[in-house]
Amino acid sequence: TRQGIKQIVAWRRADVSLRYLKKLPRFATPAGRIHAVIGADADTGRLTVGKPPLQQIPRDKRKDRYKLRKGFVARPGKVLSVVDASQLEMRILGHLLIKLFKDDTLARDVMAKDCHSANALRVFGPLRPWLAGVKPEELKEHPDPLVRQAREDIKAVAYGMNYGKGDLGIGYALLDDRGNPIGERAGHQVREAYLDLYPGLRWYMDWVREFVVAEGGMMSLLGRWRELPGARGQRWEVDAAVRAALN
C-alpha cells in the first residue's frame, strides 16, 4: 500500500542517518574533534570531503528531519564557516548556452539577483495558479508556504536535470500538497515545461548525448577530459555515460 511504502522510505532514511552517525566516532581525535580530509579526486574533478564524508550531511531541512547538521559544533572560542558559490552551476550553464547556441533565455533568468526565484516563476507560474502576481523578489520570503515551495522545487528540477535526472527522478523529487511524490507522468510534464522554456538546454542535452556516443567521453569547459567507456555499451550504459557527461 502507499502508506506501507511511505513507512519503508521513512525507515530507510532513519537507517541511513543512523549508519552515518555510527561512523563518526571512528574519525574523532582524542580531544573529541573531527577533522575531515579535503581532496580533488572526484571523477568529475570536484572537491571531495572524506574521513568522514561530510558532504553527506543533508542541507535541505526537509531531508534533515533528524537535525544531523546541529550535531556539528565548533570548538569553544571558534566558529564554523560555510562558504558557498551562490547558484554557480546555473550561471555557468547560462554562459554555456550562450556560447554554444547563442541562446540567452536561461541566461537572463540566471543572471538575476536570485536566479532560482526567476526560474521558478517562469516554469511553475503557468502550472500553479497561486503563483499569479508573485514577483521574483517576493518568492523566497513569501508568507504562503505553497508559494515558497516553488523555489525549492525548481532547484530540484534544475539541478536534477543538470545531473541527468529523467521524468521518474523529477517525479519523485517533487511532492504534492499531501507530501507524496507527484509521479513519473507529472514529472514528465514539469520536465517538458522546463525544456520548452529553455530550448537551448534541450539542444545542449541532445548534443551531449550525440557527442558522448561519438567520442566516448566528455571534456569540461577548462579542457579536462573524462573517458566514459559505457558510451558504446548497452542502452543503460549509454544513459549512465550521458548522465556522467552532463554532470
Span 186-199, pLDDT tens digits? 889 888 888 888 88
pLDDT at 214: 92
Q: pLDDT confidence of 110, banded at 50, 70, 90?
A: low
Among 57-61, 180-184, 196-200, 233-237, the range scoring the smallest mean pLDDT is 57-61
Q: pLDDT confidence of 211, banded at 50, 70, 90?
A: very high
Give mean pLDDT, residues 195-212: 87
pLDDT at 210: 92
Q: d(Cα 188, Cα 160) in Å, to the nearest integer? A: 13
Q: pLDDT confidence of 144, banded at 50, 70, 90?
A: confident
The grid cell for 28 is: 574523532
Instruction: Point out which residues pair with 227 in neighbouring strands.
Output: 217
Beta-carbon-side half-sphere exposure of residue 226 (alpha carbons within 13 Å)? 22
- For 216, other C-beta atoms within 10 Å of its C-beta total 14
Burial pattern 21-53, b for ≥16 Cβ within 10 A else e, equals eeeeeebeeeeeeeeeeeeeeeeeeeebeeebe
Phi-psi region of 87 (alpha: psi -120 to 50; beta: other; left: phi over 0): left
The mean of the pLDDT values for the chain is 81
